[in-house]
Amino acid sequence: MAGRIEGRVAVVTGGCSGIGLATVRRFVAEGAKVVVGDIADEAGKVLVDELGGPEVVTYVHVDVTSKEEVDALFKTAKDTYGSVDIAFNNAGISPPDDDSILTTELDAWRKVQEVNLTSVYLCCKAALPYMIEQGKGSIINTASFVAVMGAATSQISYSASKGGVLSMTRELGVQFAREGVRVNALCPGPVNTPLLQELFAKDPERAARRLVHIPMGRFGEPEEMASAVLFLASDDSSFMTANTFLVDGGISGAYVTPL
């Protein structure tokens, strides 16, 4: 039986860990060829071997804040597999020195803006010409539930960067809708990945404080995000663009949660 994205070519940034990794695995299982861009070169090599070698997956070292490297990533997809059908612009960071606005310094602010927001601008700018030429394509940008809700446990630059990703996604979705290119934002709730584990390892109380607000009473799993990304990448979501796709265990709909 054919997969849901059989024969499509996908680019995934941050594909060596967490949500990106689960999505690369799912995309391959559903018949896609995938080009993974990350800075985790060892993990990238292991992943290519795990998933069947260069016929199916190619790893490219990419710092998503570099225009040259991002352009080369998308060109690799076109040159190696013949098209750029899906772009999952997902790489992001959540460093501990990004905290309350009162203690977050300009360097920490700028670093997060570069990796989380400028990167998505660069990836969309690189992917769109291929997709416009094909008259078809699906871009999924990873924002976050913090793009639509405020938290007293602040990470000020992270939240602002994700708000930027969401607004940019909406605008691109509107602008390119009649050219066959769909652009949607995945807004995960807290997901059980190294990014979240690192953040909460230093502060279990903060983790517990967040858990209280999730109606389902647990963090999400990367595979649950991969299912949502697959939906947005595939023709199953063909009438969706410029969308804020919240996959958050009910957080954004909750006022009082069960005990």
Ligand X SMILES: NC(=O)c1ccc[n+]([C@@H]2O[C@H](COP(=O)([O-])OP(=O)(O)OC[C@H]3O[C@@H](n4cnc5c(N)ncnc54)[C@H](O)[C@@H]3O)[C@@H](O)[C@H]2O)c1
Residues that bind ligand X (CB under 6 A): 13-14, 16-20, 38-40, 62-65, 90-94, 115, 142, 144, 188, 190-191, 193-196
C-beta atoms surrounding 195 within 10 Å: 18
What stretch of H or E contains 77? helix 67-81
Q: Which is nearer to ligand X, 128 or 226 (CB)?
A: 226
**Radius of gyration for the chain, computed over Cα atoms and rounded to the nearest angstrom:** 18
Task: Report the nearest approach of ligand X to the CB of residue 61 (Å).
Answer: 9
Interatomic CA distance for residues 212 and 218, integer angstroms: 9
Q: What sign for the dihedral angle of Cα 119, 122, 125, 130?
A: negative
Task: Report the nearest approach of ligand X to the CB of residue 90 (Å).
Answer: 5
Classified as helix, coil or strand, 196 is helix
| 81 annotated active-site | no
Q: Which is nearer to ligand X, 49 or 235 (CB)?
A: 49
Task: Report the nearest approach of ligand X to the CB of residue 48 (Å).
Answer: 14
Task: Report the nearest approach of ligand X to the CB of residue 202 (Å).
Answer: 15
Interatomic CA distance for residues 133 and 181, integer angstroms: 10
Interatomic CA distance for residues 4 and 7, integer angstroms: 9
DSSP states of 209-222: HHHTT-TTSS-B-H
DSSP 235: G
Please report where in the chains the tokens 């647990």 appear, as a residue.
Answer: 218
Q: Which is nearer to ligand X, 40 or 132 (CB)?
A: 40
Q: Which is nearer to ligand X, 38 or 85 (CB)?
A: 38
**In contact, 62 and 89? CB cutoff 8 Å:** no
**In contact, 89 and 142? CB cutoff 8 Å:** yes
Task: Report the nearest approach of ligand X to the CB of residue 128 (Å).
Answer: 20
Classified as helix, coil or strand, 25 is helix
Question: Which residue in the list 81, 130, 158, 255 is annotated as catalytic?
Answer: 158
Among the listed residues 173, 11, 185, 7, the one whose alpha carbon sits nearest the alpha carbon of residue 87: 11
Task: Report the nearest approach of ligand X to the CB of residue 59 (Å).
Answer: 11
Interatomic CA distance for residues 88 and 85, integer angstroms: 10
Which residues are catalytically annotated? 158
